[in-house]
Amino acid sequence: MPEERKKLGWGTEKKPDYVLGIAEADFAIENADIVIAGSAPEKIIQRCIRAKKLVFRYSERPFKNGPEIFKFPFRLIKWRFLNPQNVRLLSAGAFSAKDFAKFGLFKKRAYKWGYFPETVRYENPKAVFSGKDCAEILWCGRFLRWKHPEICIELAERLKNAGLCFRIKLIGLGEEEENLRRAVLEKSLSENIVFLGAMNPSEVRREMEKAGIFILTSGKREGWGAVLNEAMNSGCAVIGNSEAGAVTYLINDGENGFTYKNGADELFGKVKFLLENPSVQKRLGFAAYKTIVDSWNAKTAAKRFYVLSEKVLSGEEGVFFENGPCGKA
């Protein structure tokens, strides 16, 4: 695991009993009826396919860096050979199924999926969210170019020039941190932008519970973006870049958050609107919370996957859920 992720608190928890070692896993796969194959040795996956097991590829989009046309013929032959008609796709992000479809793969056999962080269910969510700071905007992640944390600097400058009361909190570490801090000083934004450094997942959740607005600025290299699940679960009014994998799966624009696709101009307009309309913030935040606790969570995904698998094993084909996990990708 990369050092940056360790500093953010990942990989430190004790492994639960259902996490198996290599020898145990090999035995379990041999005796399984259904296999979800994420990052795994291809020889094991092919063994399952030859044994006629029900196999689901679990994948983010393969073309995070663009289609790479010169590799297309090789990938077309290889991927179609490795994925015969009895293999299906769990699309971890809105673009995974579309990327694979360019190779004629998983047609009518691709289902919405994603990442499912811990879901918190509050006894009285409205009371919890009523204490949010509607002037507080949160950004969380590694400071990498493709996550575009620099947009926060431009956003702060424009909000300040518009005379709005706000504060942007940045959680994380990364190679772009020095450039970000320098830009904050150069543009005299020290009172508007706060660097919180690395935080473990529970500390991040506490910050999300306090913030009125959460923004996800990552581009197409963000296969999913699990911080969006967590921010919605924490009742934030979320605004996400539609190029990130999770955004169009989780956000219905105007209903439980906002999406944007035209860079800083559109993001600025939507943040400004929310700062000026705290009642809308709270309405979107509560709807975002309901989206996670009602459908986009591990328990719902597991139940739906069980139903989907039963139907496929009994010979049925098609889409059995309209929206959410296991819906049509």
Q: pLDDT tens digits for 278-322?
A: 999 999 999 999 999 999 999 999 999 999 999 999 998 877 898
Cα(316)–Cα(159) distance, integer angstroms: 53
Cα(94)–Cα(98) distance, integer angstroms: 8
Please write the tens of the pLDDT for every residue from 210-223. 999 999 999 999 99
Residues 167 and 284 both lie in one domain? yes
pLDDT at site 249: 98
Query: In terms of residue numbers, what domain contains 217?
Result: 125-294
Residues 56 and 137 both lie in one domain? no
Q: Is the pLDDT of residue 178 over 80?
A: yes
Minimum mean pLDDT among 14-28, 147-161, 217-231: which range? 14-28
Which one, of 272, 273, 270, 250, lies nearest residue 260 by Cα? 270
Edge-first strand order for the sheet with 87-92 is 34-37, 54-59, 87-92, 110-113
Q: What is the pTM of this model?
A: 0.92
* Residue 328 located in a structural domain: no
Residues 52 and 183 both lie in one domain? no
* Residue 1 located in a structural domain: no
The CATH number given to whatever domain includes residue 280 is: 3.40.50.2000
Can you give the length of the chain in residues? Answer: 329
Which one, of 282, 270, 293, 271, lies nearest residue 132 by Cα? 282
Residues 158 and 236 both lie in one domain? yes
Residues 50 and 166 both lie in one domain? no
